[in-house]
Amino acid sequence: MSTIPAGTYVIDQSHSEVGFNARHAGIAKVRGQFTEYEGALVVGEDLADSSVTVTIQTASIDTNNEGRDGHLRSADFFDVDSNPTMTFTSTALNGTGEDFTVAGDLTLNGITRPVELEVDYNGSAVDPFGNQRVGFEAKTTVNRKDFGLTWNAALETGGFLVSDKINIVLEVSAIKQA
């Protein structure tokens, strides 16, 4: 039996973050986030009977640099006009309920690939407004080229401007609905 209280939860966007980081010029990490997304978690009595779905608006990318954000929204990267969303749909949840994995299909740039997220369950609480909440941290690493995101620029000193490896980190607070 899962230690996560069973029920249907929706992600509380105002208390959650969908973040990422990538190496820039091979020497520094650039961090960013998506600010518009929605998702639901259906937690069964058994963790294996649970599911997760998330939809992210790609145009909501924010790296704290408008020029870079504009380039990321362009056809060189997310092509937000043709691909306004990315989605994740779980296919399996496995583990103890405290530390578990969520396997699923990530669709980005019109390409769907399997990914696996390592998840830490941070607990549950009732907030001052009577809402039952659960919290999670999840992380995974993807290769952006697997999703057709191939733009890059060679560096004079060797290597490339943007790393292929993208680290995704999610901090989620979700509110029980039913």
The model's pLDDT over 125-136, given as tens digits with 9 standing for 90+, comes to 999 999 999 999
pLDDT tens digits, residue range 71-88?
A: 889 888 889 999 999 999
| pLDDT at residue 58 greater than cutoff 90 | yes
Query: Which tokens is 30 given?
Result: 């650039």
Per the structure, the complete domain to which residue 65 belongs is given by: 7-176
Give Cα 167 to chain centroid, integer Å: 9
How many domains would you assign to the chain?
1
| pLDDT at residue 103 greater than cutoff 90 | yes
Amino acid symbol at 85:
T
CATH number at residue 29: 2.40.128.110
Which of 82, 77, 171 lies closest to 133, judged by CA? 171
Instruction: Give domain status of residue 26, yes or no.
Output: yes
Q: Please, which pLDDT band fits residue 1 given cuts at 50, 70 and 90?
A: very low
Instruction: Give domain status of residue 2, yes or no.
Output: no
Which of 80, 125, 114, 118 lies closest to 100, judged by CA? 118
pLDDT tens digits, residue range 13-57?
A: 999 999 988 877 767 888 999 999 999 999 998 888 999 999 999
Instruction: Give domain status of residue 145, yes or no.
Output: yes
Instruction: Give domain status of residue 1, yes or no.
Output: no
Q: Please, which pLDDT band fits residue 160 given cuts at 50, 70 and 90?
A: low
Instruction: Give domain status of residue 98, yes or no.
Output: yes
Bridging pattern class, strands 28-34 and 132-143? unpaired
| pLDDT at residue 159 greater than cutoff 80 | no
